[in-house]
Amino acid sequence: MARKKIALIGSGQIGGVFVQLAAARELADIVLFDILEGVPQGKALDIMEASPAAGHDIHVQGTNRYEDIEGSDLVIVTAGLARKPGMSRDDLVTTNSRIMRSAAVAIRENAPDAHVIVISNPLDVMVTLCHRITGFPKNRVMGMAGILDSARFAAFVAMELQVSVKDVHTLVLGGHGDDMVPLIRYANVNGIPVMYLLEKKYGAEKAMEVMSEIVKRTRYAGGEIVGLLKTGSAFYSPATSAMAMAEAILKDQKRVLPVCALLEGEYGVNGYFAGVPCVVGANGVEQIIELELNREERTMFDESVSHVKAMVDNLSL
């Protein structure tokens, strides 16, 4: 059986971490594409030279030619500017839209059968552009945000409760902006509601305060990292989150993951992308799982999606 092939459009920080994760798992051969001459070639060669010591065996090619992504099973788009301190994800829209347009045309022409995972920000707008320009079926175009936002939520819960992150399960829905929707009701530690554990630790009133702080930190977690790094945005956690999606697709895992998917009536939204729980397997987004949201969750979700709609409706497509 032929090896799988992944193309990374954008070989910056996230692209670089992703290729290292993929090599360690021997997930697929990789093509690293970038407009910068030398950077994808240099990273590819560096990984190839790491392989003997690491004992992994995949082929990694660096390129500035879009023709080299031909035959990819999966294309991951990280091309674009990353945030600097003081910027919101939305501030990237003009530049990154231009970059996404060229990437999407190239994907349509060179890898027409690929699944596409978009990571570039502002995510909900970029994935919409990618879907509309490629014209690919909706199951094959998805955005990576929910896994990252949920992982951040889980990390903060685990730090607070001093339990293993392995046992913490969380879900964040909506757009990948500061108004994302961490679902408190669904957060649990191996089935035990997080709120129950916080209440045991602190009593009901303080527990709610602690949870509000965790929710706030989750919403601004990307900005917290930007503020610390000063020269760019998070890359370990986005690359690792994209890896979960890539493995789910290439290994047909049928994982239940929060994914930025095109909604056509689900959650009362029609024609817009938003983060929702999905079954992800060899056919990409194979199923969208609709949760019953309570009034408070519904209001937050609608607000988050209305922000996505405003951004998308402003685009000339």
Query: Cα separations (Å) of 15 from 19, 80, 146?
Result: 6, 11, 19
| Residue 129 touches ligand APR, criterion: CB under 6 A | no
| Residue 42 touches ligand APR, criterion: CB under 6 A | no
| Residue 128 touches ligand APR, criterion: CB under 6 A | no
Which one of 3, 36, 294, 315 is in contact with ligand APR (CB under 6 A)? 36
Which one of 6, 8, 14, 116 is in contact with ligand APR (CB under 6 A)? 14
CB atoms within 10 A of CB 3: 12
Q: How many residues bind ligand APR (CB under 6 A)?
A: 29
The DSSP H or E segment spanning 189 is: strand 188-189
Residue 274: φ, ψ to 5°:
-160, 160
| Residue 87 touches ligand APR, criterion: CB under 6 A | no
Query: Omega into 112 within 30° of 0, i.e. cis?
Result: no
Query: Cα separations (Å) of 270 from 90, 210, 308?
Result: 22, 35, 12
- Helix pair 236-250, 146-161: axis angle to 10 deg: 120
| Residue 308 touches ligand APR, criterion: CB under 6 A | no
| Residue 149 touches ligand APR, criterion: CB under 6 A | no
Task: Give per-residue burial for 275-306: e unless 16+ CB within 10 Å, then b.
Answer: bbbbbbbeebbeebeeeebeeebeebbbebbe
Per CB under 6 A, the segment of 21-29, 94-102, 268-276, 295-303 that binds ligand APR is 94-102
Query: Cα separations (Å) of 190 from 187, 197, 244, 277?
Result: 10, 12, 20, 18
Decide the pairing of beta strands 5-9 and 74-77. Answer: parallel
Which one of 97, 110, 121, 188 is in contact with ligand APR (CB under 6 A)? 121
| Residue 102 touches ligand APR, criterion: CB under 6 A | yes
Query: Cα separations (Å) of 144 from 44, 282, 298, 316?
Result: 23, 17, 22, 23
Among positions 205-234, residues that touch ligand APR (CB under 6 A) are: 232-233
Residue whose structure tokens are 């903060």: 156
Which one of 80, 223, 281, 284 is in contact with ligand APR (CB under 6 A)? 80
d(CA 261, CA 140): 9
Catalytic site residue 131? no
| Residue 83 touches ligand APR, criterion: CB under 6 A | yes
| Residue 13 touches ligand APR, criterion: CB under 6 A | yes
At 24, list the tokens.
Answer: 């360690």
Taking the complex as a whole, the smallest distance from the CB of residue 85 to ligand APR amounts, in Å, to 13
* Cβ nearer to ligand APR, comparing 211 with 307: 307
| Residue 235 touches ligand APR, criterion: CB under 6 A | yes
The DSSP output letter for 235 is -
Which one of 119, 125, 155, 308 is in contact with ligand APR (CB under 6 A)? 119
* Cβ nearer to ligand APR, comparing 83 with 307: 83
* Cβ nearer to ligand APR, comparing 171 with 226: 226
* Annotated catalytic residue, options 59, 131, 169, 176: 176
Residue numbers of the site for ligand APR (CB under 6 A)? 9-15, 34-36, 39, 78-83, 92, 96, 99, 102-103, 119-121, 232-233, 235, 238
Q: Catalytic residue numbers?
A: 176
